[in-house]
Chain A
Amino acid sequence: MSFISRGFKGRGRREGAAGRLPPGQYLEHGFPVLSAGPTPHTPLDRWDFTMVGQVDQVRRWTWDEFLALPAETITRDIHCVTKWSKLDSTWTGVSVDTLLDGVETSADYVLAFCDGGYTTNLPLEDVTGGKAWIAYAYEGQPLAPAHGGPARLLVPHLYFWKSAKWVRGLELLAADQPGFWESLGYHNRGDPWREQRYWGDE
């Protein structure tokens, strides 16, 4: 494969982002939408968030209860495995630490589950210690359905498919269980700085 398209540079790319773009990523100023299925439209009065699996007892929050939890507003760079990165995106939501507060578990893994059936798996230590949130606002506005609203998981230090849209809960697991993309060739952990895109990447 040696053909080069004369005069083609690709858009955006790496300008003005020194040190903030992981290997292989380019800078994106928009907010591309990528989805494995149709956009669910779950009414808020039927929405809940649950913590299930290896827990001493199931935790459940309604939408109103969820909004009443202590919220945090954070600004982070996000990195999609399809190679775009977006800098300084601002989110508001509830830290997973807050949701796990008081939960007794022997689990080492979580599987996020969502409206529409999407799943993604993470080690528990990747969603605790101030590294993950259930976000319901983006740039000060309610999170749009196209971007995962009413609420999505936000794990900005991993590739963005881990930040599951339309999330409805976390299942705590003793054994790791590959999620939707992780079972179709995508890396089990997905650290963009180590460029862990696919199966077999170190």
Chain B
Amino acid sequence: MDAEALRLDGNAAAGLLDQIFASEVTTVRGTCAGCGRTSSIGALLLYGGAMGAVLRCPGCEAVVLRAAAIRGRYLLDLRGAAHLELRDGA
């Protein structure tokens, strides 16, 4: 089975990401540092399974955001995101 058959939507990582962001996270918009495409977090492509969330750009498949829960600590790597945009009241 190819990994494509296992990938989910970024939306499915909301349980983890909500631990990091106190506000609703899947509607936050992130811009890919690789190709410049802007996507809602919920529309990124999620890989990584039980090890952590690897969220990739639906345009170029570059990693935009990584997150993992490590024994009560939460790690977030945003090197692949040019920026994130959060709005009030979202």
The answer to whether A and B touch directly, with their CB atoms under 8 angstroms apart, is yes
Select A146's contact among B3, B48, B49, B61, beta carbons within 8 Å.
B3
Q: How many whole Å from B66's CB to the nearest CB in chain A?
A: 5
> Chain B: which residue is nearest A185 at the CB level?
B70
In the complex, what distance in Å separates the CA atom of A37 from the CA atom of B54? 8
In the complex, what distance in Å separates the CA atom of A71 from the CA atom of B61? 34
Q: Which of B48, B50, B51, B70 has the most CB of A within 10 A?
A: B51
Size of chain A's interface in residues, with CB distance under 8 A? 21
Given A185-B73, A198-B70, A82 contacting B1 (CB threshold 8 A): no
Select B52's contact among A146, A184, A199, beta carbons within 8 Å.
A184
Interface residues of B in 47-74 (CB under 8 A from A): 47-52, 54, 56, 61, 63, 66-68, 70-71, 73
Please state if A33 and B3 are interface contacts (CB–CB under 8 Å).
Answer: yes
Given A33-B3, A146-B3, A38 contacting B51 (CB threshold 8 A): no
In the complex, what distance in Å separates the CA atom of A67 from the CA atom of B6? 30
In this assembly, does A34 line the interface, its C-beta being within 8 Å of a C-beta of chain B? yes
In this assembly, does B18 line the interface, its C-beta being within 8 Å of a C-beta of chain A? no
In this assembly, does B75 line the interface, its C-beta being within 8 Å of a C-beta of chain A? yes
Given A36-B54, A39-B4, A184 contacting B68 (CB threshold 8 A): yes
Select A35's contact among B47, B67, B70, B73, beta carbons within 8 Å.
B47
In the complex, what distance in Å separates the CA atom of A183 from the CA atom of B63? 14
A-B contact number at CB 8 A: 64
Q: Which residues of A contact B77 (CB under 8 A)?
A: 183-184
Given A37-B54, A146-B3, A184-B66, A198 contacting B71 (CB threshold 8 A): yes
In this assembly, does A22 line the interface, its C-beta being within 8 Å of a C-beta of chain B? no
Please state if B49 and A35 are interface contacts (CB–CB under 8 Å).
Answer: yes
Q: How many whole Å from A154's CB to the nearest CB in chain B?
A: 18
In this assembly, does A193 line the interface, its C-beta being within 8 Å of a C-beta of chain B? no
Q: How many whole Å from B1's CB to the nearest CB in chain A?
A: 5
**A-binding residues in B (CB < 8 A):** 1-4, 6-7, 45, 47-52, 54, 56, 61, 63, 66-68, 70-71, 73, 75, 77
**B-binding residues in A (CB < 8 A):** 33-39, 81-82, 117, 145-146, 161, 181, 183-186, 198-200
Can you name 16 extra interface pairs (CB under 8 A) apart from A37-B47, A161-B51, A199-B70? A33-B1, A33-B6, A34-B48, A34-B49, A35-B47, A37-B61, A38-B3, A38-B4, A38-B56, A39-B3, A145-B2, A146-B2, A146-B3, A183-B77, A184-B68, A185-B75
List 6 interface pairs A-B (beta carbons < 8 Å), by A numbering: A34-B48, A37-B3, A39-B3, A145-B2, A184-B66, A185-B70
